[in-house]
Structure 1
Amino acid sequence: MNPWLPTSPCTPHHCARHHAPAAGRARTVARLVTGAVTVLAGLLCAPLTLPLGRPARRCLTRLWCRAVIRAFGVRLRVRGTATDGGAQLVVANHVSWLDIPLVAAVLPGRMLAKSDVRHWPVLGPLAARGGTFFLDRDRLRALPGTVRDLAAALRGGARVIVFPEGSTWCGRAGGGRFRPAVFQAALDAGVPVRPVRIRYEPAGPAAFVGDDPLLASLWRVAAVRDLAAEIQVLPPVPAGRHTDRRSLARAVEHAVAPAPAHVLAPAHVQAHASVHVHASVHVPAPRGAAAPGRPAHTAVASDSANRPSPSVHQCASSIPAAASSRRTPS
């Protein structure tokens, strides 16, 4: 494990445990099969959407991802207004592999992920088909080029989704600092940043942390009788409000930090959500700001699981391309 990569104290043994009612083996298997079939159907039909415009493709992506989420037995509630505006950098806290279809079900766009995700069963093809940017986290020199690619996509009107904590956190006791590298893309492209807050109830089954195997996590999610997910779309941070990536990252981190605990409403809320929640959510205490006084060149682009090297997404420290490839403490 690289000591400079962001990590969290979350582990499957402590954080994935839960006492939620089980769905039963037959229902769990049915959910896994249905989820895989739903993903495969979307992949096979995706080429048919190529002649369509971006708004139509985004609408179909929303429907597909919501169907995938529901197939795994997860109920979704959307809070806030998810407008289908122009280019923006969507930034969310990171709990699980489930965050990927969850965000895409509300704000579909091109995601930033570590290269290993391309080879995941079920989710790998889903990510690749969605135009994901893949970053080899072991090649530090690739990060500046990736940031340039993100900025180019944003300038072209795309929506880009990142998880800048650099690792997954179970959501029980706060989260990680937002690494600033990817925020440079928003500054270079002159686009707003859209913060997004993700919660699960119960928190344990959804948490994909530490060295948790993907297949074990898929089974755990499908095996819960009632797993609820909430995604809250927060007001955007306008372009130009912050002039450097570190202050922008801190501002967005504060916006995404958990709000006071509340109870998710029954399943009739928000007409635009295709699936709803009827369970309560456990919300951890707010986390603090990033520590000041860090080297100006150090930043981490994230889309990563909490496994310093084999993680859900990607995470790497950012330094100028001409500098040494040795990672800088974060």
Structure 2
Amino acid sequence: MRAWLVIVPVVLVTLVGIPLQWLSVALRLPSRRTIPVLYHRLVLALVGVRVSTVGTPSPARPLLIVSNHVSWLDIPVLGSRLPLCFVAKSEVARWPGIGLLAKLQRTIFVDRASRSATGKVAGEMAARMNDGDPVVLFAEGTSSDGNRVLPFRSALIGAARASMGAEGAEGATIQPLAIAYVGLGGLPLGRTRRPLLAWYGDMELAPHLLEVLRRGGVDVELHFGAPLAAGGRKAAALEAERAARAMLGAALTGRPPAL
């Protein structure tokens, strides 16, 4: 019953927001950045997701935020904090409903089966960042069970920086981020229960979404790390991965990060 009590107002808010955002994107209005933030905040309030932030997003522009990835919830959680763009696999664009929302969020889609995709996507990322939009890259290339950080891939990080330089910019500031799901139903999440909120592997989206809506009461923390020093793509990926892993460990254990 609770899931349907959440779904109905979420659908209504979505139906109101879609034409407004479509018009804003088509006309390049400033509201194309603010409408998604308001939408995600409303959705999180309806679902029952509380977001805490540790640290702050860097004010530097152009900005590339490099993060771990746990769940579809990561999108509204991050989208509720500040105007930004995401990088997602091209399959998402074809998902019913969700594909449309992702396009209206001005998501950058990457075809992982195409060898030439990296350069094209990097160019799009550079263009968005040069236009003032922070870009979020889930650098693991997939999602995890929420208890760990998988190895970060360096290709898009390096290509985005190279594209920034090619367009005459100094290069993007890279800021590591850790997304940590820490509570459910007012109780702390342990290692065995945290995968209840994670969406990974071959999980079906619809049943997982309904289960999260049924439960509600989700507590998530966003840990923003210090921007990275300039360096090569592999060094940047390793440093961002190390920082995200340390911040996630601190969030899940309550101990200071071992940076």
Tell me the TM-score normalised to structure 1 length.
0.65
Paired position in structure 1 for 2:242: 254
Determine which of 147, 152, 170 is the counterpart of 1:178. 152
**Does 1:77 pair with 2:52?**
yes
Structural mapping, 1:270-289, within 5 Å: 282-283=252-253
Query: Contact conserved, 2:178 with 2:223, CA < 8 A, in 1?
Result: yes
What amino acid is the match of 1:41? V
Give the aligned CA root-mean-square deviation in angstroms. Answer: 2.7
2: distance between equivalents of 1:236 and 1:37? 39
Query: Contact conserved, 2:48 with 2:217, CA < 8 A, in 1?
Result: yes
Paired position in structure 2 for 1:208: 199
2: distance between equivalents of 1:84 and 1:122? 33
1: distance between equivalents of 2:108 and 2:204? 23
Paired position in structure 1 for 2:65: 90
1: distance between equivalents of 2:248 and 2:129? 33
**Shift in Å at residue 187 of structure 1?**
4.5
The structure with the largest helix share of the pair is 2
Structural mapping, 1:113-262, within 5 Å: 113-172=88-147, 174-184=148-158, 185-189=160-164, 190-200=171-181, 201=183, 202=189, 203-238=194-229, 241-242=230-231, 244-259=232-247
Query: Contact conserved, 1:186 with 1:193, CA < 8 A, in 2?
Result: no
Q: Does the C-alpha gap of structure 1 residues 254 and 221 become closer, same or farther in structure 2, counting only changes over 3 Å?
A: same
**Does 1:61 pair with 2:36?**
yes
- 3-state SS, counterpart of residue 222 of structure 1: helix
Q: Which has the higher contact order (CA 8 A, sep 6+)?
A: 1
Determine which of 49, 63, 73 is the counterpart of 2:24. 49
Query: Contact conserved, 1:258 with 1:285, CA < 8 A, in 2?
Result: no
**Shift in Å at residue 129 of structure 1?**
0.4
2: distance between equivalents of 1:225 and 1:107? 23
**Runs of 5+ unmatched residues, structure 2:** 165-170, 184-188
**Shift in Å at residue 246 of structure 1?**
0.2
What amino acid is the match of 1:135? V
**Shift in Å at residue 58 of structure 1?**
3.0
Identity %: 30
- 3-state SS, counterpart of residue 162 of structure 1: strand
Q: Does the C-alpha gap of structure 1 residues 284 and 33 become closer, same or farther in structure 2, counting only changes over 3 Å?
A: farther
Query: Contact conserved, 1:88 with 1:186, CA < 8 A, in 2?
Result: no
- 3-state SS, counterpart of residue 144 of structure 1: helix
What amino acid is the match of 2:197? A
Encode CA deviations 1:280-312: one digit per residue, 9 max, x unaligned: x745999x9xxxxxxxxxxxxxxxxxxxxxxxx
2: distance between equivalents of 1:140 and 1:188? 17
- 3-state SS, counterpart of residue 77 of structure 2: helix
Query: Contact conserved, 1:73 with 1:225, CA < 8 A, in 2?
Result: yes
What amino acid is the match of 1:87? P
**Shift in Å at residue 104 of structure 1?**
1.4
- 3-state SS, counterpart of residue 223 of structure 1: helix
What amino acid is the match of 1:63? L
2: distance between equivalents of 1:62 and 1:247? 32
